[in-house]
Structure 1
Amino acid sequence: MITRDPDVFLAFGRDCPPDFGPATAKAAFLVAPDGFARAEQSAADNRYMAEAGAFDAARASAQHRDLQRAMAAALPTVCFPGDPQAPDALFPNNVFATVPGRLIVGRMRHPVRQREAARPDIRGFFAGTLGYAVHDLSGQPHPCELTGALVIDRARGLGFCGLSERCDAAGARLLHGAFGLRATLLFELAPGEYHANVVLAVLAGRAVLLCQDGFADAGVADAIGQLYAPHAIRLSPAERAGFVGNAISLTAETVWMSAAAAAVLTPAARDGLARAGFGLEAVALDALESAGGSLRCCIAEIY
């Protein structure tokens, strides 16, 4: 089912048991920030991106290595080299995603990022080394920036797709089919938002982080909150701006976010995570965040 009606989606989602698949990934991969710099095309619709003078390539590289090192203590984490010709290619979750046995390749909006989809090393790793089939959406005309645009409850097979210039309605339908979801809710992001995963995070299928001001229609946020009650954690505009919504549950017991996000996390939100059974892991990523994304954006999950 694909719908724009939050009430219809809520009624359907409440009856979906958490038996669709693993709630968290078995491994992950990153792409190093080689050639890290401001990409002007991407900056055109990413208000979170800093000015060029704020980019520190050496610090970004060091923080990225720290992120991999920290993640590797929780689950196997591979890092592919970056491409100096693709200065903001450190966010592979927009381009590559998986379901068990299948690699999904997305179609990026901006040409500066479209080249990432053709990388033979990443494709070869999945197709040749892991034996995954490839579901390639990169050549069709509709932008569909994978788990940037589409937030997924992997346990219940539910998708939440924020529509913007980075993913149109046709692209959302392609994503729904590629991931084989039970149901997908389509909704408009608030003006100025580019990806759903900046304003929404489903945590191990049992809790949700919600930035209501990131939704064009507050009623959509309310419906999603009802689906995950009592573990719907509503975030303030300051928490959204600090990338708290760009978090991820790498294991069933932990939520990961950047140190900057953790610093603006309110006591109420911390308590909400604890009540949902999550500990918090934070990694300093301020240099990387100048590119307009945070920790979740850096992580491509392997299921």
Structure 2
Amino acid sequence: MITRDTHAFLDFAHATAPDFGPATARAAFLVAPDGFALAEQSAADNRYMADAAAFDASRASAQHRELQRALSQVLPTVCFAGDPLTPDALFPNNVFATAAGRYVVGRMRHPVRQREATRADIRNFFGGVLDYAEIDLSTQPHPCELTGALVIDRARGLGFAGLSERCDEAGARLMHEALGLRATLLFDLAPGEYHTNVVLAVLAGRAALICPNGFADPAAVAAIEALYAPHALLLSPDEHAAFAGNAISLSGDAVWMSAHAGRALRASSRAALAAAGFELRTVELDAIEAGGGSLRCCVGEIY
């Protein structure tokens, strides 16, 4: 099922067992922020990006290394070299995604990011080292920026695809099919939002962080909130702006977000995460956040 009908999706999702696959990844991959700088093309539709003067490549590199060190305490975390010709490559989850036995290459909207999809080393890692089958969406015309545009409940095989200039309906359908999902809910992001994973996080299949202001349709917010109740957290505008929605669970007992996002969390949000069984873990990423993304954007998942 792939639909905009929130009632039909919710009926289907409520009846879906958490037996689609592991709720969290078995490993993670990163791409180093080598040559980290303002990408003018990406800035055209990413309001979170800072001005060029705010980019500090050395600080971003140090913070990224600390991110790898922190995540490696939880699961194997590999890091590929960056490339100054692809300044956004430190957000690889938009370009490469995995499911059991396969990897998907996304179609990026901007040419500066389309270069990332041609990397032979990352393709060879998935195809040669892991022996995953390739599904290459990068050469077809519809934007589909993978787990930037598509938030996935891996336990139940459910997708949440926010449509914007970075993902259209045809692109969402291609991702739904490539990842073999059971059902995907389509909805429009609010004007000015570029990726779903900035306004929504599904945590280990049992909780959700939702930024209502990031959705154009309140019905989509209500459906997701109902699906993950009582562990659906509606984040405030301040929490949203601090990237608290750009979070990820890499194990069943913790949620990761940037230190800036963690500091912005209200006491009620912290308590709700604890009630859902999640310890909050953070990493300082302010230099990286100048690039318009935060912790979840940096993490590619290997299933």
User: 1:246, 1:224 → 2: CA distance?
Assistant: 16
User: 1:198, 1:126 → 2: CA distance?
Assistant: 26
Provide structure 2 residue ranges, at least 5 long, that are not aligned to the other structure: none
Which residue in the other structure is 2:157 paired with? 157
The Cα shift of 1:270 comes to: 0.5
User: 1:128, 1:247 → 2: CA distance?
Assistant: 30
The share of aligned pairs that are identical, in percent, is 73
Which residue in the other structure is 2:132 paired with? 132
Amino acid aligned to 1:26:
R
The Cα shift of 1:254 comes to: 0.4
The Cα shift of 1:218 comes to: 1.1
The Cα shift of 1:88 comes to: 1.4
Superposed CA deviations along residues 210-267 of structure 1, whole A, max 9, x for unmatched, are 0001000111101100000000001001101000000000100000000000000011
Superposed CA deviations along residues 76-106 of structure 1, whole A, max 9, x for unmatched, are 0000000111111110000000001101100
Question: What TM-score comes out, normalization by structure 1 length?
Answer: 1.00
Question: What TM-score comes out, normalization by structure 2 length?
Answer: 1.00
Runs of 4+ residues deviating >4 angstroms: none
Q: Secondary structure in 1 aligned to 2:165?
A: coil
User: 2:231, 2:26 → 1: CA distance?
Assistant: 24
Q: Secondary structure in 2 aligned to 1:277?
A: coil
Amino acid aligned to 2:202:
V
Superposed CA deviations along residues 103-161 of structure 1, whole A, max 9, x for unmatched, are 11000000000010010000001111111111000000000000000000000000000
User: 2:208, 2:80 → 1: CA distance?
Assistant: 30
User: 2:152, 2:77 → 1: CA distance?
Assistant: 20
Which residue in the other structure is 2:114 paired with? 114
Provide structure 1 residue ranges, at least 5 long, that are not aligned to the other structure: none
Which residue in the other structure is 1:6 paired with? 6
1:1-303 counterparts in 2 under 5 A? 1-303=1-303
How large is the Cα RMSD of the aligned pairs? 0.4
User: 1:103, 1:256 → 2: CA distance?
Assistant: 24
User: 1:104, 1:88 → 2: CA distance?
Assistant: 18
